[in-house]
């Protein structure tokens, strides 16, 4: 087994820092002397820890196993109460946090559109503030949260368990993320979505200039059918549904609507009318 001091000497060419490390200083103090400590990439010592009186007492009379079960039940009930709270969660924080646990997992999503239900099966690629990004075998589908009836996990598919997205980042990036959080996160849309959630309108900005297919609600009185907007039959497991499909190039994504162009025509589509989008 390689000695920790030898490993540090190979990484650090500064004799002063090597000498400080060999004095057995470790930050934090609870780190074993046998474990290599790079002080989070800093050559400076940690601030001196002020002595503090500590008083411990039993947390509960239950056994460790019973106490863990009780905490799990309390956590689940609290999540349910937060989800069912009277005040509407406008940013869908609870839903997004739950969906992040299904990242890269196979799920079956049931979508309600025109009073009918459509089912999609695929890998959950992203959970935004107000939408989910599903990756099927040959398509990428964006579904607004308000159109989702249910999300079912498909455990029979070959897949790995959920792993935190930032668990394998390198030391330099980890240090920047801790010490320059705002600057680092604000410059990366994927990090913005991970920590705060990104809206569908903002997510679509990166697809401006790309061809998309938008399925929308059919209005009760459509009048004369536009040749560019054709009715499409979408097959689900239970029934067939008449849907209006708009295909074209995405030219604008605003807070409340998108603009799609085909030929010389431009169609403005409100987000509240969108059932799902295929990329």
pLDDT at residue 95 tops 70 = yes
Q: Which domain holds residue 33?
A: 4-41
175 and 66: one domain? yes
Does 55 map to a domain?
no
Query: Quick check: is 47 in a domain?
Result: no
How does residue 250 score in pLDDT terms, banded at 50, 70 and 90? very high
User: pTM (2 decimals)?
Assistant: 0.59
Assess whether 215 and 101 both reside in one domain.
yes
Number of domains composing the chain: 2
- Let me know if residue 33 belongs to a domain: yes
Same domain, residue pair 184 and 124: yes
3-state SS, the chain, equals CCCHHHHHHHHCCCHHHHHHHHCCCCCCCCCCCCCCCCHHHCCCCCCCCCCCCCCCCCCCCCCHHHHHHHHHHHHHHHHHHHHCCCCCCCCCHHHHHHHHCCCCCEEEEEEEECCEEEEEEEEEEEECCCEEEEECCCCEEEEEHHHEEEEEECCCCCCCCCCCCCCCCCHHHHHHHHHCHHHHHHCCHHHHHHHCCCCHHHHHHHHCCCEEEEEECCCCCCCCCCCCCEEEEEECCCCEEEEEEEEEEEEEECCCEEEEEECCEEEEEEHHHEEEEEC
Please determine, for residue 87, whether its predicted confidence score (pLDDT) is greater than 50: yes
Residue 49 counted as domain residue: no
- 27 and 69 in a single domain? The answer is no
Res 85: pLDDT: 61
Residue 261 lies in a domain: yes
Q: Is residue 51 one of the residues assigned to a domain?
A: no
Higher pLDDT among residues 61 and 157, named by residue: 61
| Average pLDDT for 75-94 | 69
Residues 26 and 129 in one domain: no
Residue 37's pLDDT is what?
A: 64
CATH of the domain at 183: 2.30.30.600
Whether pLDDT at 180 is above 70 = yes
Indicate if the pLDDT at residue 55 is higher than 80. no
Residue 17, pLDDT above cutoff 70:
no
Residues 172, 279: one domain?
Answer: yes
| pLDDT for residue 219 | 52
Same domain, 103 and 33: no
Position 38 scores a pLDDT of 65
Asked if residue 251 belongs to a domain, the reply is yes
Q: Are residues 17 and 80 in the same domain?
A: no
276 shares a domain with 172: yes
Residue 198 has pLDDT above 80, yes or no: yes
Q: Of 1-10, 75-84, 136-145, 211-220, where does mean pLDDT reach its minimum? A: 1-10
User: Is residue 198 assigned to a domain?
Assistant: yes
Are 19 and 78 within one domain?
no
Write the CA distances from 2 to 5, 11, 18, 171, integer angstroms.
Answer: 9, 13, 16, 21
> Same domain for 70 and 30?
no
């Amino acid at each position: 087994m390689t000695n920790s001091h030898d490993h540090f000497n190979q990484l650090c060419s500064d004799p002063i820092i090597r000498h400080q490390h060999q004095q057995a200083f470790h930050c934090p103090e609870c780190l074993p002397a046998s474990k290599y400590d790079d002080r989070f990439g800093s050559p400076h010592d940690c601030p001196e820890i002020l002595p503090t009186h500590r008083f411990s007492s039993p947390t509960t009379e239950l056994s460790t196993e019973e106490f863990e079960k009780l905490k799990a039940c309390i956590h689940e009930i609290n999540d349910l109460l937060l989800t069912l709270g009277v005040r509407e969660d406008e940013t869908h924080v609870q839903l997004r946090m739950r969906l992040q646990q299904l990242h890269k997992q196979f799920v079956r999503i049931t979508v309600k559109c025109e009073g009918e239900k459509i089912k999609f099966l695929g890998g959950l690629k992203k959970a935004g503030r107000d939408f989910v990004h599903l990756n099927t075998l040959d398509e990428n589908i964006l579904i607004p949260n308000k159109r989702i009836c249910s999300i079912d996990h498909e455990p029979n598919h070959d897949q790995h368990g959920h792993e935190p997205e930032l668990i394998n980042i390198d030391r330099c990036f980890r240090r920047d993320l801790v010490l320059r959080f705002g600057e680092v996160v604000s410059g990366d849309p994927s990090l913005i979505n991970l920590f705060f959630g990104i809206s569908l309108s903002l997510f679509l900005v990166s697809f401006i200039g790309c061809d998309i297919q938008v399925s929308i609600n059919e209005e009760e009185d459509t009048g004369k059918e536009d040749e560019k907007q054709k009715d499409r039959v979408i097959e689900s497991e239970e029934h067939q549904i008449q849907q209006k499909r708009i295909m074209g190039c995405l030219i604008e994504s605003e807070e409340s609507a998108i603009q799609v162009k085909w030929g010389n025509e431009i169609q403005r589509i409100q987000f509240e009318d969108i059932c799902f989008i295929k990329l």
